[in-house]
Structure 1
């Protein structure tokens, strides 16, 4: 009788813990994967100040006319929207990919950078961000197929003589690396990623530790449960969404950029990504820069690094 009561008590504890962990997993899924206000993201003022190191780029973007392009997502569920800014007579286009919960308008400084280098720019809102439809944030794994579709659309729209470079920041950087593992048109000449992560699971585990100070237990089962919920809701396990695995299939030239003081996507990740890529590659770790701040901290050097890299691979 005592043994029976003990087993019932143990089973009850296990069930309660299981329900609690699943509930916590759903909570973290809402925080991480459902679009909305995120307390862990810093909000920047929309006012353009002359003291801003990127004042010129932001002012240019604000006054520049943008064309709107629209396509259906690769899964045929949602309408996706992009800004297109032509550069007169250019046959070079930069596809610019925003970060987590960013909009295409937040990438205006990079539109300006590439326009100054003589590129047209196509800057899409990812699924569930900005004007694009969608229910969940795909962390680059879902978006990679949308970007391939945007590239195909761009070639149909502007002609197959185009030379294309894909550039991404943060989640957009991870998307760029994941795109690199796809079978892309030969018009895609180079890839540039700034502060992207090694895999979705690695980044989620890092944030669980840094933002919530979770120890290994319960961090390990929580991330696994979150990944399982993501598989049911979004269609993939977070461990499968690997920049490293995709880069191992990439043979295109790639430039890797990261801030040396990045605590949001740890700087150590850029070295792992760099080693994984199989094509010609370069790396620049911006001294003293935090997450996604390399351009603002080092505008001249940032521009020079990108211009020099691209001059080797695009005519």
Structure 2
């Protein structure tokens, strides 16, 4: 005998519940598999040395930028910088990786810049647009190729988590080449900015006089979350957990266990923060948070209307003035000049 309730039998209701529950479980399983597959692809795009083919199709969506006059100017300036006479430098990092840099010295240099480029970029591509101004202002420049990119060794990019320690290795090379008195500044753009900010709390030598960080993000976890949510319009809750496990397996570090905010709470050197107000790749709010967290002397330049990495292009005069003022404030010009 079947018990009746509201016109349906209990058995029928139970069958429906089983069907609905099974369907929901099936949907959840499919969603989990899909999330894993998309996350694996995104992690390859984010970390792998080898650029996945799919990146070409979705790069504009990831960065929020399309081909425009700025990109053309950046490419032309990068080509000019790559063609300038330079000395190729090779060092062995603290963990045994061969890192490559490009040294362009100036006679009677006032200071040395160590320039760290961004994610899936190049030393000449990121800094060509500003390199002439640096040379005119008496800067010898060591353009580093970040690990996992270009000719530097490493299977993966670390979004600053692993690269921060490379700054110490490059500083040691500069001190050996130029002496221990000339002012050194760490200069980074995008992921390079995050790299130098994460290095701000490391045991930097006394002749490291400052850091200049242009459009840096706070941590791998936070920039991935922003890009996945805002630029790719995907959910991040499940993908974030999957990405964290993959990051840990690849780099033996947590993507959310360390940030620029942690480093800047112990920073001992002056920092100049720069960011464009209309950045669609790294939100300007991340630089505001970095600035607030920084306990050392600090300056802030926000360029109205500038998208990611475009601040120099949009407001060249203001950008150069902010940097030269920063140098003039912290160079200590009574120090001996460089040997090269």
Give me the TM-score of the superposition, normalised by structure 2.
0.82
The residue aligned with 1:111 is: 131
The secondary structure found in structure 2 opposite 1:189 is: strand
Equivalent position to 2:296, from 249, 258, 279: 279
The residue aligned with 1:32 is: 46
* Structure 2 residue 146 is matched with structure 1 residue 129: no
Contact 2:108 2:138 in 1 (8 A): no
The residue aligned with 2:245 is: 228
The residue aligned with 2:314 is: 297
The secondary structure found in structure 2 opposite 1:238 is: coil
CA distance in 2, matches of 1:304, 1:110: 13
CA distance in 1, matches of 2:28, 2:67: 45
The residue aligned with 2:4 is: none
CA distance in 2, matches of 1:272, 1:279: 14
* Structure 2 residue 104 is matched with structure 1 residue 80: no
Note the alpha carbon deviations across 1:222-264, whole angstroms, 9 max, x for none.
Answer: 0121011110011211112311111111021110000011111
1:237-252 to structure 2, matched below 5 A, reads: 237-252=254-269
The secondary structure found in structure 1 opposite 2:176 is: helix
| 1:267, distance to aligned residue in structure 2 (A) | 1.1
* Structure 2 residue 91 is matched with structure 1 residue 71: yes
Q: Which runs of 5+ in 2 are unaligned?
A: 1-13, 334-340
Aligned pairs, how many? 307
| 1:160, distance to aligned residue in structure 2 (A) | 1.4
The secondary structure found in structure 2 opposite 1:82 is: strand
CA distance in 1, matches of 2:228, 2:39: 12
| 1:16, distance to aligned residue in structure 2 (A) | 5.2
57-66 or 84-93, which deviates more: 57-66
The residue aligned with 2:6 is: none
CA distance in 2, matches of 1:168, 1:126: 11
The secondary structure found in structure 2 opposite 1:279 is: coil
Q: Which runs of 5+ in 1 are unaligned?
A: none
Contact 1:25 1:229 in 2 (8 A): no
| 1:87, distance to aligned residue in structure 2 (A) | 0.6
The secondary structure found in structure 2 opposite 1:65 is: coil
* Structure 2 residue 217 is matched with structure 1 residue 197: yes
The residue aligned with 2:278 is: 261
RMSD after superposition: 2.9
The secondary structure found in structure 1 opposite 2:242 is: helix
| 1:102, distance to aligned residue in structure 2 (A) | 0.9
CA distance in 1, matches of 2:46, 2:228: 10
Higher relative contact order (CA 8 A, sep 6+): 2
The residue aligned with 1:23 is: 37
